[in-house]
Amino acid sequence: MLKTVINLSNVQTSKVWVGRVSYLKGLELQDDVLQKMEKNEVQTCILGFEHPGVVSIGVRGSVSRDVCVSAQELHNHGFELCQVSRGGEATLHNLGQLVIYPILPLKKLGIGVRSFVHILEQATRHCLGSFNVPLIPQQQEPGVHSIRGKIGFIGLRIKKGISSHGVSINVCNNLSNFTLIRSCGKLHGKHDRIIDWTDMVEPKQVYERWCDYFFQILKSSQTYPNEANARELQKTNFCSQ
């Protein structure tokens, strides 16, 4: 685990590359940060992971509808199944995919939900562009698409004005695994990954670059649209698998 502390507009931000851990262990680490943030022991924290095979089902998801194979076949492919409190339906993580949890006190920072999603999208688009991935214009639904398919995913939970979960980016993972689920509620959706557009690259490299863009965009955003009232920021589940 590699931790870097960054001072950002009088807010101390911890950038922590955790690396390869199970999805459940990642959730435990996230919960630990959330508890510390509620006690004002942590200001902001950006966690970076790479998870072995797992399919997670969000609050709008259904195992019977969104998982396309039996539990045994899912296990045979090396995937666990987890139900989680983030928004959305089914999403898939596997080795070679980068998972980022930007845990921020949005209410304290005065950042609305839509503004935060926009910041995540822009950081992801800038990061992917720096690896020569040709992107198409932003779609109605959140997330990021290349000319070949979806490559960046956003899934959030906001409770007590604090964000959790976040972004996943296909780096060098096996895209055929996405046939195991209805990704974003869609069957046989097209996907893309960074490695097909650039030289050898690993999730940690992408994490470092994504954080650089995220901090730049966050710092340069002097004002945020005040579209989110206090109730919106108390508890929000959002996802764009």
Give the residue numbers annotated as catalytic, written as ranges.
184
* β-sheet bridge partners, residue 191: 150
The secondary structure of 91-115 as a DSSP string is EEE-TTEEEEEEE-BHHHHT--HHH
Q: First vs last Cα of the chain: how many Å apart?
A: 27
226-229: long-range contacts, CB 8 A cutoff, minimum separation 24: 226/110, 226/112, 227/112, 227/113, 227/114, 227/115, 228/111, 228/112, 228/113, 228/114, 228/115
Spatial CA neighbour of 155 closest among 173, 143, 139, 137? 143
C-alpha closest to that of 104 among 21, 215, 209: 215
**Measured between alpha carbons, how far is 232 from 101 in angstroms, rounded to an integer?**
20
Helix, coil or strand: residue 37: helix
